[in-house]
Amino acid sequence: MIKFLRSRIFLIQICLALVFTCLCVYGAYLFLNNYAKTGEAIEVPNLEGLDIIEAEAALKSEGLYAEIIDSLYQQGDRGGLVLDQEPRATSLVKKDRKIYLTISRYQTPTVIVPNVLNQSIAIAINKLTRRGFLIGQQIPKPDPCNGCPIGLEIRGKKLLEGTKLPKGTKIDLIIGMSDDEGEVLAPALYGLTPDEAKLLLTSYGLNVGALVITDAMNNGDSLAAKVYDQSEKPGTFLKTGSAIGVFASPDILKLPNVNLDSVKASIQ
């Protein structure tokens, strides 16, 4: 046995076995490398904000494919824009991979106008905004239900409960005002954004008059603007439906020396 292990025939068989094993391993490596297309990773382009047709063309040029898995309503966006993608931009994927897209909906969904009459203004506004409607003007009208929404309008035309309207429709509220109780105290708006100021005034049965944003160099400054002055000072008695001019600026040094936390708390 020992003599055979030392023989030339045994050594040749060992060498042949090693060569065969190496060839098998190398062959398997080549097969798997070709099958998995290792080394052909493609970087996923950023598609967000592109039209779906543009996105499909961009993917096709890279050997990738688009598949729409969802559509969402985005107020102000036109339909067919890519809102989200998976895998994310700059991810590495193989050729022929599907990229799953969420796009903006082409048609604005419609919702039913809820019953908001003869309730508090705050409840009425909450019901409407939760359905996706925008609040327009509050128009005072003599009525025993003081401070109550007694009607709805769109551009001067009466709006009935149960009507189906597109999301984002602006609705005006007709607010009842009795002869002897038609006044409210103007709230403090200091430190609020213009949108927060409008929300607070609306809850009081008041409207935003002129909106003046000063010291704004770009859109980012406008978004960061805070109210530093108002045409009617806090505590002034105003008729329901009156308008208050609002002055805002991104310069926080213009804000008056008031308790801004208590003003913020008033819109919660």
Alpha helices per DSSP H over 80-191: 121-130
Q: Is CATH 3.30.200.20 the classification given to domain 182-268?
A: no
Q: What is the pLDDT of residue 44?
A: 92
Q: Is CATH 3.30.365.10 the classification given to domain 42-104?
A: no
Q: What is the pLDDT of residue 137?
A: 85
Q: What is the pLDDT of residue 267?
A: 61
Which segments of the chain belong to CATH 3.30.10.20?
A: 42-104, 108-181, 182-268
Q: Residue-wise over 59-80: b if at least 16 C-beta within 10 A, else e?
A: beeeebebeeeebebeeeeeeb
For residue 30, what are the CA distances in angstroms to 19, 20, 33, 95?
16, 15, 5, 18
Alpha helices per DSSP H over 37-178: 52-61, 121-130
* pLDDT one digit per residue (tens) for the chain, 268 residues: 555 456 666 566 677 777 777 777 766 666 655 554 545 688 999 999 899 999 999 999 999 999 999 988 877 778 899 999 999 999 999 888 999 999 988 888 899 999 998 888 888 888 998 888 988 888 888 877 877 889 999 988 999 999 999 988 999 998 887 655 567 888 889 999 998 898 888 888 888 888 999 888 777 777 889 999 999 988 888 887 889 999 999 998 888 887 766 666 666 5
Is the whole model's pTM more than 0.75, yes or no?
A: no
Q: What is the pLDDT of residue 229?
A: 94
Q: Residue-wise over 126-149: b if at least 16 C-beta within 10 A, else e?
A: ebbeeebbebbbbbbeebeebbbb
CATH of domain 108-181: 3.30.10.20
Hey, what are 176's tokens? 């009842």
Q: What is the pLDDT of residue 10?
A: 56
